[in-house]
Structure 1
């Protein structure tokens, strides 16, 4: 089993799903689909990768509260070691409003602390033993980047809906060898991707929701992979983290970039059919079967 260390991003979320986003007028909405569950980018990656049989260590902040207890209970999975520090602000909480196309409005009802008191050197043994290190863009995670550099550990990061200019993300961009992002706020994404490879990055991958994904390699090759239409949209929460995890699954096996993206496409497709941030039926066997179904001629 490959060892993965993930830091940052666990919350307890309220999720409302509507056919369309409400118009910006006073109104009463009488019917919606509603559920509460674990969320956030670190939890999504950790749950997905542990189901793919990676030996996964995941660190996040949680509060000393009932929501923190719920987060911990939902991370009690095989292959997943959840470690935490207490956030004095309480457990992070989001309100996600989804529409039928999988688009999302995310409201941070209780963000995590930006600068909690943490001894980052305590992660060194875990980092040394890790085959892959994923640093998410929660503010407290930026302080582990220097530890990764000291230990000569390559960093994977997910910039999410980065707009190409927000200085908040720059530390993560500078530190990462492998960069993922979405084109939601960066429609002209190719210049950014090319600039990162020119700056010495190993790989940049940009996802486009229903329009698939684009990769740019250090060899200067563009690769496009479409979605699989057979997966039916139920809930898009976690789809980007599932794509990231599927890509890493293929990467860990030494596959080429296109095949890694195809695994990402499968696992994100399975995710959107589920109400959770990762498919409850996910397994290596299912993923390999789906790959044979859609990509092996």
Structure 2
């Protein structure tokens, strides 16, 4: 059965700039080794990877009315993603500049749009109908969707990224039925995961090149080591992992198999210049 997934959150235009080393915080001139414009945004990344895995994907996002926004929409739709958007107050699309060096990233938000109108419970009733999962990503306009999905009986999934266990902004998202996070900012990730599992949440913790771990609500752990990979660009690898894991779980895979599926999709992303490897280029 084709998984039907609703994703709520950011889509952007990203300028990717690869440098020999990340610059120090001093004035100076730097020369890029290479650079390109592509689709960005954590929700766009998940939607692209989900679509490439055969899911029926709808993305609710905030887009401007400028040419960049039109290109973002065309690019997502060309990849098989259904896009429903709110206009931004500024009329401008979200834009990032990502400085990359040796797999490390400094992400600069060049423009972060606010929606003219927020999503409502009526929107939730309309867009949650018939969905197997809703993915609520880290954006202010997506925060109510975890509760709205759960009220509607639709499992809510979220990606907490570099959550440190204390951020108030992340709190509403951390109540989802399934969460993914990076261990980078949370040395006590195992304790956090076990507490969340005891409350009925399944948790995936990614460790970058070192692999990943997951625990289910029954307290069962699974761990998968990292693998040596050819890396073209690391942007969006966590979103690709999330998509691979989600599709595998919906197909009935156990935690270990789903972690392997997540790693396989992350490898697709890492091997190409766009959020889903060779998929996700910015249309003209």
Higher relative contact order (CA 8 A, sep 6+): 2
Query: Per the alignment, in what secondary structure is the counterpart of residue 213 of structure 2?
Result: strand
C-alpha displacement at 1:78, in angstroms?
5.4
Query: Per the alignment, in what secondary structure is the counterpart of residue 249 of structure 1?
Result: helix
Query: Per the alignment, in what secondary structure is the counterpart of residue 161 of structure 2?
Result: coil
Matching residue of 1:200: 200
Q: What is the alpha-carbon root mean square deviation over aligned residues?
A: 1.7
Once the two structures are overlaid, the 10-residue window that deviates more, 62-71 or 218-227, is 218-227
Moved over 4 A (4+): none
Matching residue of 2:185: 185
Matching residue of 1:86: 87
Matching residue of 1:95: 97
- Is the 1:53–1:79 contact (alpha carbons within 8 Å) kept by the matching residues of 2? no
C-alpha displacement at 1:25, in angstroms?
2.2
Matching residue of 2:238: 240
Cα gap change, 1:115/1:192 in structure 2, threshold over 3 Å: closer, same or farther? farther
Matching residue of 2:150: 149
- Among 263, 268, 279, the residue aligned to 2:266: 268
Deviation string, structure 1 residues 228-257 (Cα, Å, up to 9, x no partner): 21x211100110000001101211210100
- Is the 1:228–1:266 contact (alpha carbons within 8 Å) kept by the matching residues of 2? no
Distance 1:34 1:227 in 2: 28
Cα gap change, 1:148/1:115 in structure 2, threshold over 3 Å: closer, same or farther? farther
- Is the 1:58–1:83 contact (alpha carbons within 8 Å) kept by the matching residues of 2? yes
Matching residue of 2:224: 225
Structure 1's unaligned 5+ residue stretches are 283-297
- Is the 1:4–1:133 contact (alpha carbons within 8 Å) kept by the matching residues of 2? yes
Cα gap change, 1:61/1:31 in structure 2, threshold over 3 Å: closer, same or farther? closer
Distance 1:262 1:137 in 2: 25
C-alpha displacement at 1:31, in angstroms?
3.5
Distance 1:67 1:281 in 2: 18
Distance 2:164 2:152 in 1: 30
Distance 1:122 1:200 in 2: 27
Structure 2's unaligned 5+ residue stretches are none
Alignment of 1:45-84 (within 5 A): 45-77=46-78, 79-84=80-85
C-alpha displacement at 1:281, in angstroms?
6.7
- Is the 2:182–2:206 contact (alpha carbons within 8 Å) kept by the matching residues of 1? yes
- Is the 1:18–1:32 contact (alpha carbons within 8 Å) kept by the matching residues of 2? yes
Cα gap change, 1:255/1:23 in structure 2, threshold over 3 Å: closer, same or farther? same
TM (norm. structure 1) is 0.89
